Chains A and B, each alone.
Chain A
Amino acid sequence: MDTITQLSVFVILLVIFFLNIVISILRRRQAVNLRPIEAYEAIPDLTGLSVEAARPLHIAYGNAAAGADTTLLALATSEFINQTARQTTIGDAPTIVTANETVAIPLGVDSMRRAYESQNATDQFNEVNVRWYPGGENSLAAAAGMMALQSDENIGAHLLVGSFGAEIALVADIAHRQDRPLLAGSDRLEGQAVAYALADYPLIGDEIFQAGSYIGNNDRFKRRTAILDTLRWLTALAILGVMIFTLTATGGA
């Protein structure tokens, strides 16, 4: 790693570390107001529908997995699974989790186990509800598996929150044919575009990381959202600053 990269990474990590500490302390006593996100507002309806109709929810990691560059996304998806599965433990149809990478299976099992534990329903937890759908080169084999899952398990709603490409369109197609809602978000741009166009409830950009704040209504996660908002504003200001500096330095030429 060259010196410039070392310095950049070190400075970015330090800035985020100190901002995280400072904002956490400053906002400890303050209530954090969250902006409405349609996809998260729909979660209680989707879980309610799953419980009432005894149709399981299907939550997918896609290619998000620990040990790769999607490790933290996989953690965010796990949080999403944990918070959503908590609301369906009282139903007869347990939530089904699928992952394209085997490394995500232990994460999924742990998230589901914690969800059942939190509701004192550990005896109902079945590890086989976390399933490996081998992705293949373009994740199309996994998408085919997810399409079959719809008819096999009579899925109530598909929640694709992880790393996906254009294969979301295949799941969206089967969900539409069976009149089942689809909530989708991806860290990949092609997946984002397809999710925005075809999903009933799309999650855009960093919204995937906010499950703890919105579904869990957890203060710790809400503070994280507040910090993220502050960081976003700072980044925007930094971009504007660099732009103004460049314009003034070059004399607008």
Chain B
Amino acid sequence: MQVRFGVVLISVITVLVGAVTVLGLLLGDSIITGEGLFADVIVILTRIPFADLAAVFLRLSVLMIAVTMLAGMANLIFVHFGRLRQRELRLSRKLFSFIFVLVYFGTIAVYINSRTNGLRLLDDVQVALESAFAGLLFFALVYGAVRIMHREVTLYRLLFVLTLLLVLLAALPFPGLGLISRVYNWVMAVPVEAGAKGILLGIALATLLTGVRVLVGQDRSYGQ
């Protein structure tokens, strides 16, 4: 199997930077205070400033995040300029992209001119739009719940709908729902809590394993 030099180099850099950052974050406080369980072990390693190096790497990553914001803004503009140039695209779509470009530069101009007005624009337009979409989301969820049984009736889907009905019934402000409330409380405290923790544990294990394998260079998804 041929392995490219560039990939090996990137892997080595990633492994080194990752290992130093983990050590710096894990042992950082001990290095500074000289306390903690690993204080004795760290005496041997005091000449390697893991915490300082980790802090440098973290500061660099914050800088990179800021740079990617610029990349994102450029990406938006390229996408819409590209659409304006497409001959086969419908006029309505081109008009949308044209309005987008105008609003984009207009918002930047407003923000540069007056920061308060820029933030007001965000509050008055974006927050209002997001609220409208939150309402739409409610209908999409209800419509989706209705659709579940249309596609295919399985035991798990039936259980899902029954649980959904139970939750909705328990939320009703009517008296005499004592039994339903008790069942609801039990369902939320035992099966829902256990299921949620199970799913989160699975995700946490997969995340940890992926992290360890990236750190030891076994998963080179960033290079090849």
Interface residues of A (CB under 8 A from B): 1-3, 6-7, 9-10, 12-13, 16-17, 20, 24, 67, 72-73, 75-76, 78-79, 82, 102-103, 105-106, 110, 114, 127-128, 130-132, 134, 136-138, 140-141, 143-144, 152, 166-167, 169-170, 172-173, 176, 187, 189, 192, 194, 196-198, 200, 204-206, 208-209, 212, 220-221, 224, 227-228, 231-232, 235
Contacts and interface: CB of A to CB of B under 8 A. Distances in A.
A99 to B, nearest CB: 8
A104 to B, nearest CB: 8
A232 B216 contact: no
Contacts of B140: 169-170, 172-173
Contacts of A67: 61-62, 64-65
Q: Which 7 A-B pairs have the closest CB atoms?
A: A102-B72, A206-B206, A205-B202, A140-B133, A209-B206, A169-B140, A132-B72
Given A67-B61, A220-B219, A140 B144 contact: no
A86 B216 CA distance: 26
Interface residues of B, number: 65
Contact of A73 (B30, B76, B157, B207): B207
A206 B145 CA distance: 24
A33 B141 CA distance: 37
A197 B29 CA distance: 45
A187 B224 contact: no
B219 to A, nearest CB: 7
Nearest to B28: A1
Interface of A is mostly: helix
Interface stretch (B113-121, B174-182, B183-191, B193-201): B193-201
Given A13-B22, A197-B157, 11 more contacts: A16-B209, A16-B212, A75-B219, A105-B72, A132-B76, A169-B140, A192-B199, A197-B160, A198-B148, A205-B199, A220-B219
